[in-house]
Amino acid sequence: MSAESRPAIRSGFRLQWEPVQNAYVMLYPEGMITLNTSAAEILRRCDGSHTVDEIVEELEVAFQHKGLKDDVAAFLDGAASQGWVHMVQP
C-alpha cells in the first residue's frame, strides 16, 4: 500500500457504533469484532476518499501526537489481510 492509496471498508463488512458495548464494532457475515479506539478511529476514515497520508494527518491532529504513520500503515496492512479493507484506485 502506498501513501496515496485510498482504503475503503469492503462490501459485506460494516463499521458501526454500538451504544450497549460503548464501542465501535466491525460486523461481517456471522461475526463481529469489538474495536479499540485507535482501530476505530482509523477505520472510520477508510471511506475510499481519504488517502493513507490524509488519514495519518487527521489522526495526528485529533490525538495531538506526531509520528503515527508506521502504526497506521501496519494496522491497515493487517486490516487488508483480514479482508476488512481494500484499496480504491483514484
Between residues 29 and 67, which has the closer beta carbon with respect to other proteins? 29
Q: Does 12 bind other proteins (CB under 8 A)?
A: yes
Judged by CB under 8 A, the residue of 16, 33, 37, 77 near other proteins is: 16
Whether the Cβ atoms of residue 10 and residue 86 lie closer than 8 Å to each other: yes
Burial 48-69 (b: 16+ CB within 10 A, else e): eebbbeebbebbeeeeeeeebb
Q: Which of residues 29-58 bind other proteins (CB under 8 A)?
A: 29-32
Judged by CB under 8 A, the residue of 1, 21, 37, 62 near other proteins is: 21
Least gap, CB of 29 to other proteins (angstroms): 4
What's the CA gap between 52 and 71, in Å, rounded? Answer: 11
Query: Packing angle between helix 69-81 and helix 37-44, nearest 10 degrees?
Result: 80
Judged by CB under 8 A, the residue of 48, 72, 83, 89 near other proteins is: 83
Segments in the chain forming alpha helices (H): 37-44, 52-62, 69-81
Site of interaction with other proteins (CB under 8 A): 11-12, 14, 16, 18, 20-21, 25, 27-32, 81, 83
